[in-house]
Each structure stands twice: as C-alpha cells, then as structure tokens.
C-alpha cells in the first residue's frame, strides 16, 4: 500500500498533467479562433453566392458576421425580387456560401 506521501505525489503529478492538457486546449482554441477571424476578415468585400433553403440562390458582397456567426452582413444583395443595398442574412437560412476569388485574395495579402 502506497504511503500518504506517495499518494500526494501522484495526485500532484495528475494535477500537473491536467494543467498542461487545459493549457494545450486553450492554445489550440486560440489558434483556431485567430485563423477563423483572419479568414472571415479576408472575405470582407468579396462577391459571394449564398445557397439557401427552398432552393434559393442569392449573390451579395460579404461585409462580415456577428460574433456568434448567427448572421451575415451583406451589401448589394441581388435576389429574384430585386437588389437591396444592405441586408442581414440569418445563418440558419444559409446552407453554404462560396467566394470565387478567395484564393486570389489570400495570395495577394
């Protein structure tokens, strides 16, 4: 049976491993968040095609999104009913969106 000192040492080692694990997870989240924000920033001002429910496709200039990515802010929204100078698209209504010139834009920066 291990002594109290050995048990205490084992607990201490376990706590250190948990601290390292938490720190690694935080660093990974920070890295991913930073790159996500850089990607979203690179999209600003680019022409985008939004594919939405009910087989609807609209085009617009991407202007940004809110912090939770629940809404997309766009300008020059072109729909079947006409053109809107500014609009907010709910992310729940958007299946996906594409930006044709993203690779070119990324390489220029």
Give the model's pLDDT for residue 10. Answer: 62
Question: Which candidate, 42, 41, 60, places its Cα nearest to that of 51?
Answer: 60
Number of H helices, E strands in the chain: 2, 5
Residue 22's domain comprises 1-43
Give the model's pLDDT for residue 14. Answer: 61
Rounded CA gap, 8 and 103, in Å?
55
Residues in Cβ contact with 64 at an 8 Å cutoff, skipping those fewer than 6 apart: 40, 44, 72, 73
| Claim to verify: residue 35 and residue 56 sit in the same structural domain | no
Q: What is the pLDDT of residues 89-108, one digit of tens each?
A: 999 999 999 998 766 655 66
> pTM here?
0.70
Neighbours of 57 (CB within 10 A): 13
| Claim to verify: residue 101 and residue 49 sit in the same structural domain | yes
**Do residues 38 and 47 make contact, with C-beta atoms less than 8 angstroms apart?**
no
| Claim to verify: residue 50 and residue 34 sit in the same structural domain | no
The domain that holds 79 is classified in CATH as 2.30.30.100
**Do residues 94 and 77 make contact, with C-beta atoms less than 8 angstroms apart?**
no
Q: What is the pLDDT of residues 4-63, one digit of tens each?
A: 776 666 666 566 667 778 889 999 999 999 999 999 999 999 999 999 999 999 999 999
């Amino acid at each position: 049976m291990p002594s109290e000192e050995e048990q205490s040492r084992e607990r201490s080692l376990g706590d250190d491993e948990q601290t390292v694990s938490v720190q690694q997870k935080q660093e990974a989240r920070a890295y991913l968040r930073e790159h996500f924000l850089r990607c979203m920033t690179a999209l600003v001002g680019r022409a985008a095609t939004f594919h939405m429910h009910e087989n609807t496709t609209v085009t617009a200039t991407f202007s940004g999104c809110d912090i939770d990515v629940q809404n997309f802010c766009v300008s020059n929204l072109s729909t079947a009913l006409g053109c809107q100078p500014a609009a907010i698209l709910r992310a729940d209504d958007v299946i996906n969106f594409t930006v044709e010139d993203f690779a070119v834009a990324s390489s220029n920066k």
